[in-house]
Structure 1
Amino acid sequence: MAAEGTEDLGSNGELTNPSVTELYEPEVEESAESGADGGDTSAPVTSYTAKGEEEEEGEMPADFERLWKLTSDNSQDFNSWTDLLQYCEQEGHMRACRQALNAFLLRYPLCYGYWKKFADLERRAGHIDKAEEVCEQGLKAIPLSVDLWIHYINLLLGTLNMNLPESAQRIRSVFEEAVAAAGWDFHSDRLWDLYAEWEKEQGNLKFMTEVYDRVLRVPTQLYNTHYEKLKTHITSHPPQDVLSPEEYGKVRDEYKQSQIQAKKERSDISAEEEERPPGEEEPADNGKDSEEAVQKMQELLLVSREEVYQQNEAEVRKRWNFEDAIKRPYFHVKPLDKAQLKAWQSYLDWEIAEAETAAVATEGAAVEGHEGSKQECVAGHKRVLILFERCLIACALYEELWNKYVQYLAPQGLEEVRNVYRRACEIHLPYKHSIHLHWASFEEKHGNISEAKRILESLEMTVPGLAAVRLRRVGLERRTGRLDVAEALLKETVEQSKDNPPLHAFFSIKLARFLHKLCKNPGRARTVLQEAIELSPDNSRLYQNLLELEMSVDLRSNGGGVLQCVAKAVAAPLSPKTKILFSQRGLQFVEDFGTTVQSVLSMYEEHQKLLKEHDAKRQAENGNNDDPEKMSKMDDASALAVAQTAPPTMPHVPMTTPPPSMMGGDMSGSYGSYGSWYQQQYGGYGSYQNPWNQYNQYYPPS
């Protein structure tokens, strides 16, 4: 049950290298709302099933099915879950309680209060083994929950036969697992105190000293209380009763040396008198220390621990204001206010900076072989991990903090990052597509193509209909060289979106470009766009892309296609301004590529007709009561436009105001202003403007 790879504190207080792979959220103060707080998980929690027992037979309570259906229809409705659980608890039906708690904890494993309720339910029913299994299952999901560890330990203390040696060994083993997993939480004091008091009850005063020595190096809220208890403990017992043999021998030698040095300084006896003649042995030691020796050794012990205490106090003071700013350290589905999010962000930034400073100092001290700097660097990294895990209890529903965690862990290793993504996406944020896309990009970047595909396919099943997800799937298949699969995905989407014309047009354009640019099949691309125009004849972007397609092929053999597209756009139910722009584009085309002057004149006449119709309509809309000065300015503008487009006498080629160039990049030079026109007219695509403006968010900075 202990988390493998987590760093542990030995009797000497040294740290092993921590890993986030099995390090999860620490426990926080219990919420006033039972079950609304807890830890985090590393993997989906599997349903609890007690071995050796079968589920109770019989009918479910009367309202169970109704309440169960509410949670099944909307698993994100936290209130429906609490109503179901409260009903099952009131009815006292074990089968209903187990089914409801299993499902709830699978969806909300952060709520450690319900793990405790589940264990108590089994214990009251006389199923002690089941109660232990529930606690163990909960601690796999929330290994940093101090409350759940204490609950589990108290369960064992109340059920094990403590007269058996193996029972004490098991309790001590669980305590060690608990402090290894959750002992570095700022609010882990109760766990350390319980451990020390239990060792005292067992008569293991030396172990009790070791526990307090270990917590003396951990920045916790009640650090001063631990130190006072340690001082009382040391001064209340002889040193040989509270110290390990190694430390007792060391402090006793130190005491003797201090006595010799004190005698030399007083000059009561000379250094020669202190030397014994050859062959003469020291007086026999009866193994007991004098009262003076005990007092002096206790003072030496306190002096050595005072320095550690002062260092730890400095670490606590650095963090005190950050800790004081955190008002809701537990999980709840209710949103956090901005001040709380900012408090977590500031705390994380500061702790990361502290760890980086320690790492730099370690690099400088590595040459000199300073072991203390190395230990401080490891401890700094551990504190960052603990703080992230604590943060992701209260902020489990905020993907920006999961992304921040990923960025911090990126240099540590792939598996650490993968573990965080898995927890975020599969447990806490199943409907937040952005972080899933981040995860898929991460897997693809590191060559795990099959996992990236699985993530995208799973996301599309969970949140169907998102264009960004389908296009990411298409892009993934394209990048891996599977153009046939990418094309099939686009064609499937085009077919399925026929009842949504804007979406159908959007994907039709994507498919047409795919067929044209990658499959080198302009004929199929043209067919796709034409079919889309039949379904959405008022969508100017379809005509625009069709015109781009026609302009991109050999104009010597496809001039008719361009003019047909222009004519189709002019005849379509588009806005007058859009029609004028297409007409102007057609006029520009015949001026540049027309084979006869008659085609230029004909196009010019059609263009002038559109302009006059537009001017007439605009005047009719303005009415006769407009401001005369304003009308005068409008007339001047119209006159200027007519003057600019009036055909010169032959044999000169008719000229028009140079329009901006069309898409495709084949028109440039003096027509560069068309880029700004294109951006104004077609910069967005209905409801898809925002998704494409935000699409870069799916690729986090490397």
Structure 2
Amino acid sequence: MEAEYSDANLNGAAEGIRSEPGIEQDEASGDDVTGSVEEGPAPAEESAATATGSEGGGLYSAGLEDYGEEEDQDYPREFEKFWKLTQESPVDFSAWTSLLQYIEQEGHMCAARKALGAFLSRYPYCYGYWKKWVDMERRSGFINKAVQVCLRGLQLFPLSLDLWIHYLSFLQETLNMNLPQSALRIREAFRSAVDAAGWDFRSDRLWEMYADWERDQGDPRAATAVYDRVLSIPTQLYQQHFHRFKELVSSHSPREILSAEEFLRLRSEVMQGCAAVTPDPDGGSEVSPPGLTPGERETDEHEQKIRELLVARRQQVYESNELEVSKRWSFEEAIKRPYFHVKPLDRAQLRNWHSYLDFEVGAEAGAGPGGRAELLFERCLVACALYEEFWSKYAKFQAQRSVDRARNVFKRACEIHLPRKPSMHLLWAAFEAARGNLKEARRVLEALEQSVPGLAMVRLRRASVERRAGNLEGAESLLREAVLQSQAAPLRSFYSIKLARQLLRVQRDRGKARRVLQDAIDRDPTDSKLHLALLDLELSTAEPGQSEGPVLQCLSRALSCSLPPQTRLLLSRQRLEFQQDFGSSVQSLLTAYDEHQNLLNETASVKRRLENGDCEEEEGEEPEEKKVKSEDGLVATPIDHTTVSMPTPPAPLMGGDLNSSQAAYNYGAWYQQQYGAYGYQSPWNYNQYYPPS
């Protein structure tokens, strides 16, 4: 009896609300609001058509920005002030509530429609504002517009029990119940309500309202059908439903509350179990055949036994449902805030939602698909609509069932609830790209970049989509554009390094890559990461016998810039190692050695002054040399003029190809450690061979 939760659950409600005989007309039209009106399409027809949209887009993507843009456009001056604040900071919930408080007091319907439409497009789970909007339209005499608002709210928030109940009450109060179409439309609305939200653990009020309405219509058989459905659904007041069902059975004859098929079946079982014995005129006895003829009526005893058998059958369903309720009771008790709010939930409730979802998904996997897990996800996302972790979990769950269902989850998350959260958009783009839908992946990433400009992760993801698609020129263009548009120097350098890597590793164009880094160094000469990236490029791409010139030129250029002392020391050591291993001129090696010694002396001199307190320092600030790490990640170590310990260099920025060459140039520390006991001296202690210059 479990009904799958889907967009189609609203179809009955949407189709039922049209301008048919029985619904009041708007006072503004000049028609009588108490009589019937001519049949024909009404403003609600557009909403009805939207509600019947295809799965994966139509239901949840409906917006409200275009609603109510007719009539007067002359808004109050105070409204414009409040409205401007919401547009300048759309994520400021307090600005929205101030605007809505103002329009509620002002009573200007065009302003109210504009404000409520924009607010509820962004926060559709705020039931209270849907109700306020409906009531404002109704008080102003716009009955059909009030119906439109109800339908639009139920499209965007189909799990709202309160909105369903308000909508059903609205229909009962506004429809002309003397017309047969009115009862039919209300019944269809009830069916749509329980299909959409009746599986909620706290849906008892809706079910009781449905059963009571059927009884008030003089149809106890329909009321029995309502109880038959709810008795198999785990709800909070499951015992109350069974108690009221037994009251219904005891107050009506079985013929009145059961379908003809079930009544005949139960009566046959009763009659077979206790066959009636009647006296024979000849003095004997005669056993009547099972069942009764159509013209006969059951005795009180037969009716009572049919009632008992009827209740016994439902008792089995009730006990099975009671077991399901007990499995979920502790989870439900831990839910302290089932409604939407922008304030964060505490960790205990978040953990409870995760545990509850895992339980329901596991139960569904063991018992076959039934829709309970899907409904629980929908309930969870009312309270946790602003948490990306639950949307991604839901999308993963739906992806195992249907691509369209998963896409619908991403669409709702990214376009309604989390328009400025990059993680969900990146997941959506990856989801589409993995299924070959590159056009949609591009659209998602471009929309995110327009909404939240300047995010490096988004631009890099766009470039990677183009690279995987084989559009290398497109990937290069995106990265070049990022370099040109970046205002901050660190971000500009970051994009330059990424572009150089793309050109070198993917497009195999060493010349372009070198020019990119050289241009970046010209713009930002003090960025050590650019110098290290260029050094990596030269070391990893140089051909045998031709590497000395470009590498030494790169190192000399870097050492001539105002880089941090530790970075300059690192580069100087690398120059010595490189010239020792690959240099062709002893004189160049000696010159490099002298420059390295001068740099060591300068660094040591600064360190001694700091240790002796000769340099003025700000109170509470540690000396620069005593900091654990510099901005380049190098550990500051004491400097020995005779034996230089080699710090671990930072990881290369061009993809890791420099690791082996750097290891080859780091002989000094390794040999000193391994062979120091045998009298091995650091290869950079040239004083034993050459006099200081």
Give the alignment's TM-score, normalised by structure 1: 0.79
**Structure 2 counterpart of 1:519:** 507
State yes or no: 1:321 paired with 2:345: no
Mapped contact 2:535–2:551 kept (Cα < 8 A) = yes
Partner residue, 1:400: 389
Matched, 1:100 2:115: yes
Q: 2:546 aligns to what SS in structure 1?
A: helix
| Contact 2:133 2:149 survives alignment (8 Å) | yes
1:636-683 Cα deviation digits (max 9, x unpaired): 9755x51579xxxxxxxxxx99999977535638926969x9xxxxxx
AA matched with 2:300: E
After TM superposition, give the deviation of residue 356 of structure 1 in Å. Answer: 2.3
Q: Provide closer, same or farther for how the CA distance between residues 624 and 86 of structure 1 changes in structure 2, counting only shifts above 3 A.
A: closer
1:304-383 matches, cutoff 5 A:
304-358=313-367, 377-379=368-370, 382-383=371-372
Per-residue displacement from partner, 1:213-252 (whole Å, max 9, x unpaired)? 1110111111111111100000111100111100100110
What secondary structure sits across from 2:95 in the alignment?
helix
Contact 2:600-2:639 at 8 Å conserved across structures? no
CA distance in structure 2 between the aligned counterparts of 1:387 and 1:23, rounded to whole angstroms? 16
Counterpart in the other structure of 2:133:
118
Q: 2:432 aligns with which of 425, 443, 459?
A: 443
Q: 1:612 aligns with which of 587, 601, 605?
A: 601
2:563 corresponds, among 564, 568, 574, to 574
Q: Note if contact 1:139-1:145 (Cα within 8 Å) is conserved in structure 2.
A: yes
SS in 2 for 1:378: coil
Measure the CA separation in 2 of the matches of 1:582 and 1:570: 7
Query: Counterparts of 2:333 and 2:651 in 1: how far apart (Å)?
Result: 61
Output one character per residue of 1:86-130: Cα deviation in whole Å (capped at 9) or x when no partner.
211212111111111111111111112211221111212222211
Distance 1:15 1:637, change over 3 A: closer
Alignment of 1:431-470 (within 5 A): 431-470=420-459
Q: Give the deviation of 1:57 after TM superposition.
A: 2.9
The answer (yes or no) to whether the contact 2:577–2:665 under 8 Å persists in 1 is no
1:141 paired to 2:150: no
Distance 1:637 1:68, change over 3 A: closer
Following superposition, the deviation at residue 579 of structure 1 comes to 1.4
Aligned partners of 2:326 and 2:578: how far apart in 1? 75
The amino acid of 1:474's aligned partner reads A
1:180 aligns with 2:175: no
Question: Partners of 1:561 and 1:119 in 2: how far apart?
Answer: 74
State the TM-score, normalizing by the size of structure 2: 0.80
Mark the CA change 1:23 to 1:534 in structure 2 (over 3 Å): closer, same or farther.
farther
**Cα deviation, residue 273, structure 1:** 7.7
| Equivalent residues of 2:7, 2:59 under 8 A apart | no
Give the alignment partner of residue 257 of structure 1, picking from 264, 267, 272. Answer: 272
Q: Distance in 2 between matches of 1:637 and 1:68?
A: 62
Cα 1:599/1:128, change in 2 over 3 Å: same
User: Where do 5+ consecutive residues of structure 2 fail to align?
Assistant: 11-57, 278-283, 616-636, 670-693
Going from structure 1 to structure 2, the CA distance change for 1:482 and 1:285 (only over 3 Å counts) comes to closer
1:45 and 2:63 equivalent?
yes
Distance 1:180 1:644 in 2: 77
Aligned 8 A contact 1:658 1:671 in 2? no
1:598 Cα deviation from its structure 2 partner: 2.8
Structure-2 residue corresponding to 1:671:
663
Q: Aligned-pair distance for 1:296? A: 1.0
Aligned CA distance change for structure 1 residues 235 and 114 (closer, same or farther; 3 Å)? same
Change (3 A) 1:120 1:349: same
Q: Is the 8 A contact 1:660 1:671 kept in 2?
A: no
Judge conservation of contact 2:384–2:390 (CA < 8 Å) in 1. yes
Cα distance in 2 for partners of 1:556, 1:392 equals 64
Once the two structures are superposed, residues 184-217 of structure 1 have per-residue CA deviations (whole angstroms, 9 ceiling, x without a partner) of: 0111111111111111111111111111111101
Flag the 1:90–1:439 CA change in 2: closer, same or farther, 3 A.
same
- Residue by residue, what CA displacement relative to the aligned partner does 1:536-562 show, whole Å, maximum 9, x if unpaired? 222111111111111222252342111
The total of aligned residue pairs comes to: 591
Q: CA deviation at 1:583?
A: 1.4
Q: Output aligned runs, 1:59-70, within 5 Å.
A: 59-70=74-85
Q: Which moved more, 1:245-254 or 1:344-353?
A: 344-353
Partners of 1:20 and 1:284 in 2: how far apart? 46
- In structure 1, distance between residues paired with 2:263 and 2:388: 52
Deviations for 1:367-395, whole angstroms, at most 9, x for unmatched residues?
xxxxxxxxxx333xx11111111110010
- The structure showing larger relative contact order (alpha-carbon pairs under 8 Å, at least 6 residues apart) is 1
The answer on whether the counterparts of 1:644 and 1:657 sit within 8 Å (CA) in structure 2 is: no
How far does residue 42 in structure 1 lie from its aligned partner after superposition?
2.3
Correspondences of 1:470-549 after superposition (within 5 Å): 470-497=459-486, 499-549=487-537
CA RMSD across the alignment: 2.9
Q: Determine which of 81, 95, 111 is the counterpart of 1:80.
A: 95
- How far, CA to CA, are the matches of 1:239 and 1:188 in structure 2? 28
What is the deviation of 1:518? 2.3
- Residues 563 and 253 from structure 1, CA distance in 2 versus in 1: closer, same or farther, beyond 3 angstroms? same
Equivalent pair of 1:150/1:191 in contact (CA under 8 Å): yes
Once the two structures are superposed, what CA deviation does each residue of 1:604-632 show, in whole Å capped at 9, x if it has no partner?
Answer: 33223322332233223222899xxxxxx
Equivalent position of 2:171 in the other structure = 156
The alpha-carbon deviation at position 396 of structure 1 amounts to 0.3
Structure 1 CA distance for aligned equivalents of residues 290 and 235 of structure 2: 50
**Aligned position for 1:413:** 402
Question: Which residue pairs with 1:10 in the alignment?
Answer: none
One-letter amino acid of the counterpart of residue 321, structure 1: S
Structure 1 residue runs of 5 or longer lacking an equivalent are 1-13, 25-39, 264-271, 359-376, 627-635, 646-655, 678-702
What CA distance in whole angstroms lies between the structure 2 residues aligned with 1:298 and 1:122? Answer: 48
1:533 is displaced (CA, Å) by: 1.5
**CA 1:49–1:466 in structure 2 vs 1: closer, same or farther (change >3 Å)?**
closer
Q: Answer yes or no: is the 8 Å Cα contact 2:62–2:155 preserved in 1.
A: no
Equivalence map 1:618-633=2 (5 Å): 618-623=607-612
Alignment partner of 1:554 out of 533, 543, 546:
543
Deviation string 1:496-535 (CA, Å, 9 cap, x unpaired) is 12x3111111111111122222232222222221222222
Confirm or deny that 1:428 pairs with 2:417.
yes
**Residues 288 and 127 of structure 1, relative CA distance in 2, 3 Å threshold:** same
Change (3 A) 1:281 1:340: closer
Partner of 1:565: 554
What amino acid does structure 1 have at the position aligned with 2:501?
R
Letter in 1 for 2:109: M
| 1:23 Cα deviation from its structure 2 partner | 7.3
Report the CA distance shift for 1:281/1:541 in structure 2 as closer, same or farther (over 3 A). closer
Rounded Cα–Cα distance in structure 2 between residues aligned with 1:77 and 1:63: 18
Q: 1: CA distance between counterparts of 2:388 and 2:79?
A: 34
- Structure 1 residues 302 and 521, CA gap change in structure 2 (3 angstroms): same
Alpha-carbon distance between aligned partners in 2 of 1:256 and 1:661, rounded to the nearest angstrom: 89
Deviation at 1:58, TM superposition (A): 6.7
Q: What is the Cα deviation at residue 353 of structure 1?
A: 2.1
Structure-2 change in CA distance of 1:284 and 1:619 (3 Å):
closer
Q: In the TM superposition, what is the alpha-carbon distance from 1:284 to its structure 2 partner?
A: 5.3
1:413/1:642 CA distance change after superposition, 3 Å: same
The answer (yes or no) to whether the contact 1:44–1:427 under 8 Å persists in 2 is: no
2:274 aligns to what SS in structure 1?
helix
- Whether the 8 Å contact between 1:588 and 1:659 is mirrored in structure 2 is no
Distance 1:273 1:611, change over 3 A: farther
- The SS at the match of 1:668 is helix
What is the deviation of 1:289?
0.6
